[in-house]
Structure 1
Amino acid sequence: MARLFGTDGVRGVANKQLTPEMAFHLGQAGAYVLSKEHPHPRIIIGKDTRISGDMLEAALVSGICSVGADVLRVGVLPTPGIAYLTRTMDVSAGVVISASHNPVQDNGIKFFSSSGYKLPDEVEDEIETIVNNDCKPWDVPVGEEVGRVIEVPDAGRRYLSFLKEAAPPLDGLRIVLDCANGAGSLLGPMLLGELGAEVLPIFNTPDGVNINDGCGSTHPQALQKAVVECKADLGLACDGDADRLIAVDEKGNIIDGDFIMLICALDLKAKGLLAEDTLVVTVMSNLGLRLALQGAGIRVLETQVGDRYVLEELLRSGAKLGGEQSGHIIFLNHNTTGDGLLTALQLLRVVKEKNLPLSLLAAQMRRLPQVLLNTKVRHKERLMADGAVRVKVGEVTAALNGEGRVLVRPSGTEPLIRVMVEGPEERLLRELAQSLIEVIRSRDLLEEC
């Protein structure tokens, strides 16, 4: 049986793979496992704007209350806002209903411990064992022992107040903000506006089905156009649950997570504030980032793809800054998970203090050409071990002649295999990446036969 928990909680097509029944059982098992030490457990629940959130929330609430835990319901709120509230309120755990950057038909359920961190594998395994074995190791409460639902109407304002504690004044900045029709649609423009910026929000009218639809951090083309047309100083794009950030400079160029980490790390290093003089990145980060950081005396630690692995390395090494090229960046001195709005504030602080355009700050790094291609497959785990795929990877690596690298990996959240080829010449990289994708597709079809 495939593992229920992926790299970012439990995900699937809502009402088909991630059903209300599954959500109910996850609520029961999660509340039991995470509340063992709490005589009167309370669990925070929040969600993004996708239409299936109401359905799954109702099932989760029922499951949690059925084991005697109370639910603190905060409604639509960015994932990092749930992490913040979970660690600062008197609760046993937090739950987010979101599939982040995925399309609307998907949804997910992600747990936070009382300290605001994502759960370690062993705790997820304990929850999964209870769900898969359909066992109920708890005493079934009745009467006054059944859990109740408590609304938290000021949750958004609490999170905004936290963000503003370490925020710079933004007077004089003209910013286009792409909210991905997601969880940051209300709070994002409010935050930047209250700090003094002129905010031009786009994709900030969620209707339940338009989350991440041609917008947000995975689709920044409209943001690029808007920044240039509006003569803005820069643009910012979150994803559906606002735990990622991608920026656009005043010329309309994309400034991805690698550039953002570089700008922030160099600034912190110059101030003597970069913990351990270290940045934690994943294998997807551009080689140009590593070269720029090494030239500045900053140590680079590398992990597999996934913000949970970045977090594990931050905690192990004592570093406080790390993240992914996708814009999922953790400022561990401030929050326990990636936070798109917090990342925006940290980047804007450097822009304001240096009084330089974002394009010049990003020019501190020379990005090597990097081609990223995805292909939908039925059997991603089997394909990763397929002999023909491995041979093709070897051929592509040899073709790069020691001047680049190739990375093939399964998505942790979708039925995709992702191919990345990096090197000095983009035309060759695209040809090599496409040839590898074609082999993967052909082998996937053979798996069906």
Structure 2
Amino acid sequence: MGKYFGTDGFRGEANVTLTVEDAFKVGRFLGWYYGQRKKGDVCRIVIGKDTRRSSYMFEYSLVAGLTASGADAYLLHVTTTPSVSYVVRTEDFDCGIMISASHNPYYDNGIKVINGNGEKLEESVIVEIEKYLDGETPEIPLAKRDKIGRTVDFAAGRNRYIGYLISIATRSFKNKKVALDCANGSASAIAKNVFDALGAETHVISNSPDGLNINTKCGSTHIEVLQEFVKEIGADVGFAYDGDADRCIAVDENGNVVDGDVIMFVCGKYMKEQGALKNNKVVTTIMSNFGLYKALDREGIGYEKTAVGDKYVYENMVTYGNCLGGEQSGHIIFSKHATTGDGILTSLKVMEVMLEKKESLAKLASEIEIYPQVLKNVRVKDKAAAQDDAVVKAEVSRVTEALGDSGRILLRQSGTEPVVRVMVEAADLETCEKHVDQVIEVMKQQGHIL
């Protein structure tokens, strides 16, 4: 990770950690960098944004930077992160930018940069952007006269993405009652259109964004709202997205949560049955649940474990040719169709399994038993110092020994916040809570907690 760019872009509170000046300079650099590679041709960069009030501010600032460096900026307007990735790789753009802080509160925002292949930007380019932000490189020349860039309305690109999603479905959704929670975010502009076009009886909540309500008591991080809604209307299934719709958490017909681990199991087993699971492997992260691995072992499906972040999941998939991977949080990648996590695509693939196997999501999910898990986010003065403290590490070792083969403990630094995550899986919640609190208490005694 870089100084400014974490695992999911440059993210922070708008005009505090991430300012309009930062966005302008990112635009200046990207317009210049990709323009140099065009060798005389005009650089084309596409921009999408979520529904935060500050997204408009950052959009205009990025556009000013890009055009000042001679690039043409194409605006998708409010759209999802995976739609930007799709448009970049299918419409021959030099790169894409998504303005979003994903599942964070409305006052945060972020800049995600996507390369010409529709993948997250290479670390080598991120290093160069950060040097420019810190004034460590020569000033970039301003474009002049006919070399100044222009802005192009490109809502048509978003519409083509909607058509692409619809084309992926294998069957009509007719006679299926589907509930969607759009998190008052990017999915509000797309998800209902897709499900309606496929014939579903679509019921939507949290699809009235006002700039301040994105992710507020809704979406994949507040799944209890969708759980109640599914039960209230008697839906066959529900899907909740996050702010930029690259995540999906499902809810079965009984109101039970079906998270990313369960989705990977359900889809992975189905894909194996169809002969479509390349290498007979699912790519997970170190945060995936014990229960997922036990269920995959039972089905004779292999797995990989990566660092947390769909970026690392995708890197593994590309390197080894795996076709399904993701995170417990709902970032699921189907590499046949996408290069990033795509919440709406994930919901379509879950629908495919349900329809093709003629089984409810509850039945499909009943074949995996998820271990109780407690995860607590601890705000600390220094993430590395807290995690590497010898006394803290000794306490983690004691917990590991106490759990034996019946559970595990994991400490990891957040890629976007001053937080260390402490997670324990065990046979019961009481044991999980006890061991998590043990470690947090030691961190507190060592003076790491804010």
Task: Give the TM-score band, short-chain normalised.
Answer: over 0.9
Q: 2:243 aligns with which of 235, 240, 243?
A: 240
Q: Which amino acid aligns with 2:153?
A: E
- For 2:166, the aligned partner's letter is K
Aligned to 1:159: 161
1:338 counterpart SS class = coil
Given that 1:94 and 1:114 are in contact with CA atoms closer than 8 Å, whether structure 2 keeps it comes out as: yes
Q: Report how far residue 37 of structure 1 moved.
A: 2.0
Does 2:114 correspond to 1:112? yes
The answer on whether the counterparts of 1:33 and 1:126 sit within 8 Å (CA) in structure 2 is no
Structure 1 segments, 4+ long, off by >4 Å, are none
Contact 1:9 1:110 (8 Å CA) reproduced = yes
Aligned ranges for residues 35-434 of structure 1 at < 5 Å? Answer: 35-38=35-38, 39-136=41-138, 138-167=140-169, 168-434=171-437
Cα distance in 1 between the residues matched to 2:354 and 2:287 = 26
Residue 303 of structure 1: CA displacement? 0.3
Q: Is the 8 A contact 1:307 1:323 kept in 2?
A: yes
* 2:3 partner SS: coil
Which amino acid letter does the alignment assign opposite residue 318 of structure 2? L
Aligned partner of 2:263: which letter? I
Instruction: In structure 1, list runs of 5 or more residues that go unmatched.
Output: none
How high is the sequence identity, in percent, across the aligned residues?
Answer: 44
Q: CA deviation at 1:93?
A: 0.6
* Structure 2 residues without counterparts, runs of 5 or longer: none
8 Å CA contact 1:179, 1:188 repeated in 2: yes
| 2-structure distance, mates of 1:435, 1:321 | 36
* Corresponding residue SS for 2:134: helix
What amino acid does structure 2 have at the position aligned with 1:413? T
8 Å contact from structure 1 (residues 43, 92) kept in 2 = yes
DSSP 3-state at the match of 2:404:
coil
- Tell me by how many angstroms 1:234 deviates: 1.2
Structure 1: how far apart are the matches of 2:123 and 2:335? 20
Change (3 A) 1:147 1:369: same
The corresponding residue for 2:33 is 33
**Amino acid in the other structure paired with 1:4:** Y
1:5 maps to a residue whose letter is F
CA separation of 1:53/1:442 partners in 2, compared to 1, >3 Å: closer, same or farther?
Answer: farther
TM-score by length of 2: 0.96
Q: How many residues align?
A: 447
One-letter identity of the residue aligned with 1:282: T
Which stretch of structure 1 is more off in the superposition, 434-443 or 73-82?
434-443
Mapped partners of 1:37, 1:151: distance in 2: 24
Per the alignment, in what secondary structure is the counterpart of residue 249 of structure 2? strand
1:377–1:441 CA contact under 8 A, matched in 2: no
Deviation at 1:442, TM superposition (A): 4.1
Alpha-carbon distance in 2 for matches of 1:220, 1:166: 26
Task: Render the CA deviation track for 1:191-225: whole Å, top value 9, x for unaligned.
Answer: 11111111110000000010000111111001001
Deviation at 1:90, TM superposition (A): 2.6
TM-score of the two chains, using structure 1 as the length reference: 0.97
- Secondary structure at 1:400 match in 2: helix
What is residue 19 of structure 1 aligned with on the other side? 19
